[in-house]
Structure 1
Amino acid sequence: MVQNGRDGFQAIAPVARSLESTPMLDFIRLDASDNVVTLTKPVQTGHDVDGVATTSMIPKGHKMAIRAIAKGEAVRKYAQVIGYASVDIAPGDHVHTQNTEFRNTTATYEFSTDLRPAEMVPESARDSFMGYRRKNGSVGTRNYIAITTSVNCSATAARRIADHFGPDELAAYPNVDGVVAFVHGTGCGMAGDGDGFEALQRVSWGYARHPNHAGVLMVGLGCEINQIDWLLEAYGLERGPMFQTMNIQDVAGLRRTIELGIEKVKAMLPIANEAKREPCPASELKVALQCGGSDAMSGITANPALGYACDLLVAQGGTGVLAETPEIYGAEHLLTRRAIDEKVGQKLIERIRWWEDYTLRNKGSMDNNPSPGNKRGGLTTILEKSLGAAAKGGTTPLTGVYKYGEPVTAKGFTFMDSPGYDPASVTGQIASGCNVVVFTTGRGSAFGSKPAPCIKIATNTDMYTRMVEDMDINAGAMLTDGVTLEEKGREIYETILRVASGEKSKSEAQGLGDEEFVPWQIGAVM
C-alpha cells in the first residue's frame, strides 16, 4: 500500500494501518490524490522534489505544490481538503498562509459507514498493570490526596495546606504520591446555571471522585456561587474520613482553615498509605489522547502511532478519550462514519454546531487555531491540523460522545468536548475519569498533569534530541530510523502500561502538574 520513490515516499493517509518510511527523505506524499507534498528537510530555490523544482526556499515540515492549483481550487492533503488557493499556485510553490485560505466546512455527514471493530483479546489473555483498586470498583494509577477548591477565594488556603506536606512530612507514607492543591480562577461572579456552571460542577465532581485520589479535602469560602453543598447534593457525594469539606467563613478565617486542613490531611495519610498496587486488567485504563504544540509531522508520525496504541488498548477492553473539538473541525465527518450509531454521530455534530455558534457570538473564527507556533511548524489551517489530530483516535468505532468533564462510561474509542487549549482540555479529560494522559507534540511542550501522569511523544527527532529531558518517546524515528507505525504504536502502548504501574514519566519526574489544573471558563464573568 506504500510506494517508495526516488527522493520520497507515497503513503496512504496516516489514519490507516500502515506507514513505512526510509530515513532522511526529502518529502512525504500522503495520498496519490494530494496536490501538495510535505518536505522533511529545508530546501533551497530550484531543488528537485519528485521532478518538480522549488520556486523558493521552503522550510522543513512545510508544503510544496506538486502540480498547479488554480485560485479557488481545493488544496488537498491526506486525500482531504485542507484549504483553498487564494491565488494561482504554480508547481514548486511554497503552499502556506500566504496563498491558502480557510473556509467553514460543508461536509455531508454519514453515520456508521466505516466501522472497523477491534479484534478483542480474550479476557484470559489480556495484559495487566499494577494499579490501585478502590472500594467503589474504580482503578487508579496514582495515590494522591487532593485539596480541591470551590472558588478562587479559597485557593491560598488550599495551596498552603498542600505546601505543608513536603518530602519530610510524607517520608513516613511511601505509598502516597503527594498532597496536591487543585486551584482555579472561577467559582463566583458567574451564572448559577448554564454551560459554565455545569462544566465547573462536573470538573469538581470528577476530581473529587477520581480513582487516582485516595482522599479529598474540599475547601470553599462560603458565599460563592459554586456551593460545595450543592455539589454534594447534585452528585450524591457523602462526607467521610477520606472525603471532607470546609468553608473559610465557617471555620473563622484563613489561618484557622489552614491549620484545620493540615490536621484533616494528617488524619488521611495513614489510611491512604494502606493502599497497595495489585494486578489490574488493561481494560481499566482510560487514556486521554492529547496533542499540543503540533507541527506538520504530528499527523504523520506521533498522532497515528498513538492511534495505533489506542487500537491496542481498545482490543484489551480499555478506553481512549479524544478531545479538543476545535481541533477535529474539518475531520469530524471521518469520525461520524466511525460512530457506532447515528445517535452517537449526531452528538458529535451537535458539539461542532455549538462551537460554530460559540465562536461566532464571541466574534472569533474556527480557524483561530493553528497557533503561530503551529504555523511555523508547517500547519496552515485548522482543517489540516484537525485531520492530523484525529489520527490519535486510531481506527476503531466511536462508542460515545461526552460533554466537557462528563464521566466517560463507554468502553472503546470515545470523544469528550473541550477547547483546544491543552491545560483546559486535559483538565476535562481527567475529570471524565482518564487515569493516564498521552500528549504528542512537534514544537515541544513542557506540559504535565496531576493526578494522571502525562507521557509526552515527540513528532520529530530534532525536537526530541533538543528536549530529551521532557520527551518520553521519539515518534520521529518513524522517519529518521525506519521504525514502523506498528512498532512505535506498541512502544507507546507498553509505556502506558509501565507508567500506569508506577514508572514516572519525564514530566512527572520534573514535578509538573500543580499549575496545569485549568477548568474551562464558559460564559460571562459578572
Structure 2
Amino acid sequence: MSTEQQAGCNIRLTTTPGSADGLEAQLQVLQVHPRDNVLVALQPLPAGAALPEPFAHLTASQAIPAGHKVALQAIAKGQPVIKYGFAIGAASCAIQAGEQVHSHNLTTLLSGQQQYRYQGCEARQPEYPAGLPTEFQGYRRANGKVGTRNELWIINTVGCVNRAASRIAELARKEFADLLAQSSIDGIHAFTHPFGCSQLGDDLSNTRELLAGLIQHPNAGAVLVLGLGCENNQLATLLKSSPDIDASRIRAFNAQQVEDEIEQGLAAVGELLQQMSQDQRTACPVSDLVMGMKCGGSDGLSGLTANALVGRIADLLAAANGKVVLTETPEMFGAEQVFMARASNQQVFDDLVQLVNDFKQYFIDNQQPVYENPSPGNKEGGLTTLEEKSLGAIQKGGSAAVQQVIRYGKTASKAGLTLLEGPGNDAVSSTALTAAGATLLLFTTGRGTPLGFPAPTVKISSNSSLAARKPQWIDFDAGGLLRQGQDATEFSHAFFRYLLEVASGRQTRNEETDNREIAIWKNGVTL
C-alpha cells in the first residue's frame, strides 16, 4: 500500500523484514497521516522493542497490543493527540515518546452541539477506472429498480403475528420445494419484529416507514404483508406508505379477518411464487447498485484496512453513478466536519448539521453523554475515544461529495453518497440501510459477528487472524492490505469484482448460514 490521499487521510505504512518461517512480510507500525503524533501497532510490540525505520529512535516502553497506539513524540498534558490528521482527544497526563496511548492517558474533547459554517464543497467527482466491469446480473423490477436477489419476503405489521409469519415461511419452503429448486427464486423469508402495537407519534411513524421501505425493496420479488387487525400500525395505512410497489406482487390480509391465517398465507405465497418463477437475471449497469456501508465490532485496525477498503468501493460506485448509503450518526460525532466539507451544496450541509445536532440532542434529552462510545470491545481492540472511532468509521464513506441526507426509514434517491439517520447498533442500522434501498450490505468488523440482514451482507475483516478464526462469518479479509508490497488499488479492484459476483448471485456467509433478521429503532412512547 503506497502513500496516498484516501478518504481524507494520507496513509503511510512502514514495513518490517519477513518472518523467519518464510511467511509474507507484514507491516509492523503505521503513521496514518504525516501530522499524527501517534503510531498504530499493526502487530504486538513487546516492551523494549525498537521500532523499524524511520522510527528506529523510538523504543516501546511497554508491551503494545496490535491495533493500539504508541506515542511518536512527547505529548504534554492537555495537548491534542492526533490520528488521521485530526485530534482524537487530549492527553489527560504527560505522555512520553514510545509510551502506549489509551484510556489511561487520553480523554475525549466532545461535549454538546456545535456551530458550523458552510465553506463550499471540497470533494472531487471520482472517475470510474477503465478495465473494471460495468455490468452485473440483476433482477429488473417494474419500477425500474434492480434487485440482487429474487426472494419472497413476509413482512408483519405487528409482533402479535410473528409466529404466524414464520410458520407460513417454514411451511411454504417445504410445500413449494420443487418450484424453488427449478426456478430463479432465491428463497422465502419472514422478517419478524416485536413492534406495531401500542406505539404513538413519531415512534409509530418510524416503524411504519421502516417496514414500508422493506415492502418496496427490489430484492423482494414479491411480498406477503400479514397484519392482525387491531394494531396501531394498521395494514391499510402501511400499504399506503409503500407507493413504489408492483401491486400484482403484493398480497396482504389481517389474521383476525380470515378463518385460517396459515392456510390463507400459504395460498397467497403460492400465487406469488408462480409469478416470481418467471423472473430472470439480466445484464444491468453498475449504476443500478445500491450499497449500504456498516461497521460493527471495530478494532484499532478497522479504520486503516476494512473501512478504508470499503471507502474505495464507495468511490468506485459513486464514480459509476451508483448509490452509496452510510449511517451510524453517533459514529460521525467528532468527524462530522469531514463530511460537512464534502456537502455538495448549502442545503445538504444544513441537513447534515441538523442531523448531527438533533442526534446529539437525543443523547442529551435522555441524560446521556454524546461521547458514551467506544464499546468495551472497541476499547480492547485499541479504540479509545469517540473521535478516534468516528474518524475510522467515516473512512467507509470514501472521498466523494455528500449528495443527500435522509432521515430514518426514508429511501436513498440520489446517485453518489447519502448519509442516513440511524444509531450505531448493528441490527438497527443495517436494517435501516436495507429499508433505504441497499441491495448489498458491506459490513466491516475487527472482532466478528454472525449477524445477517435481508440484503446480502458481505462481512469484511479488518485483520487476517479473525478471517482465519471465523471463516463461517467472514467473506473477505481486508487484513491482506497489510502485506508488504500490497497495492491498495489492485486490492480494492479485486474486491469490487467479488462484490459484482455477489450482486449477480454468489452467496455470502450470512446467506449460507441463513443468518437474516431485522431490528427497528424504538425511540418513543409505548402505551
Distance 1:107 1:387, change over 3 A: farther
Percent of counterpart pairs with the same letter? Answer: 35
In the aligned structure 2, how far is the partner of 1:502 from the partner of 1:28? 37
Contact kept? 1:21, 1:482, Cα under 8 Å:
no
SS at match of 1:258: helix
1:116 aligns with 2:112: no
Match of 2:467 among 464, 468, 493: 464
Partner residue of 1:221?
Answer: 228
Partner residue of 1:445?
Answer: 449
So what's the TM-score if we normalise by structure 2? 0.92
Match of 1:342 among 346, 353, 359: 346
1:183 aligns with 2:192: yes
SS at match of 1:163: helix
Shift of residue 61, structure 1, vs aligned partner: 0.8
Contact kept? 1:64, 1:92, Cα under 8 Å:
yes
Match of 1:301 among 302, 305, 316: 305
Shift of residue 280, structure 1, vs aligned partner: 0.6
SS at match of 2:371: helix
Distance 1:457 1:125, change over 3 A: closer
Shift of residue 168, structure 1, vs aligned partner: 6.2
Code of the residue aligned with 2:450 in structure 1: it is A
Code of the residue aligned with 1:29 in structure 2: it is Q
Shift of residue 25, structure 1, vs aligned partner: 2.9
1:199 aligns with 2:206: yes
Q: Provide structure 1 residue ranges, at least 5 long, that are not aligned to the other structure.
A: 4-10
1:507 aligns with 2:513: no
1:494 aligns with 2:507: no
1:474 aligns with 2:477: yes
Contact kept? 2:172, 2:269, Cα under 8 Å:
no
SS at match of 2:325: strand
Contact kept? 1:21, 1:479, Cα under 8 Å:
no
In the aligned structure 1, how far is the partner of 2:493 from the partner of 2:12? 14
Match of 1:210 among 210, 214, 217: 217
For residues 134-185 of structure 1, give each alpha carbon's deviation from its aligned partner in whole angstroms, at most 9, with x where no partner exists: 1111111101111101111111111111111235633323311111111111
Partner residue of 2:75?
Answer: 69
Shift of residue 318, structure 1, vs aligned partner: 0.7
Shift of residue 234, structure 1, vs aligned partner: 3.8
Distance 1:483 1:414, change over 3 A: same
Distance 1:288 1:19, change over 3 A: farther
1:259 aligns with 2:263: yes
In the aligned structure 1, how far is the partner of 2:478 from the partner of 2:199? 43
In the aligned structure 1, how far is the partner of 2:162 from the partner of 2:374? 33
Code of the residue aligned with 1:36 in structure 2: it is V
In the aligned structure 2, how far is the partner of 1:125 from the partner of 1:103? 43
Partner residue of 1:7?
Answer: none
So what's the TM-score if we normalise by structure 1? 0.92
Shift of residue 367, structure 1, vs aligned partner: 2.1
In the aligned structure 2, how far is the partner of 1:468 from the partner of 1:121? 31
SS at match of 2:172: coil
Q: How many residues matched? A: 510
Written as runs of structure 1 = structure 2, the 5 A alignment for 1:109-188 is: 109-119=117-127, 127-166=134-173, 169-173=176-180, 174-188=183-197
In the aligned structure 1, how far is the partner of 2:275 from the partner of 2:119? 49
Match of 1:94 among 86, 93, 100: 100
Written as runs of structure 1 = structure 2, the 5 A alignment for 1:226-265 is: 226-236=233-243, 240-252=247-259, 256-265=260-269
Contact kept? 2:92, 2:107, Cα under 8 Å:
yes
Written as runs of structure 1 = structure 2, the 5 A alignment for 1:365-380 is: 365-380=369-384
Contact kept? 1:20, 1:484, Cα under 8 Å:
no
1:82 aligns with 2:88: yes
Provide the alpha-carbon RMSD of the alignment: 2.2
Partner residue of 1:47?
Answer: 49
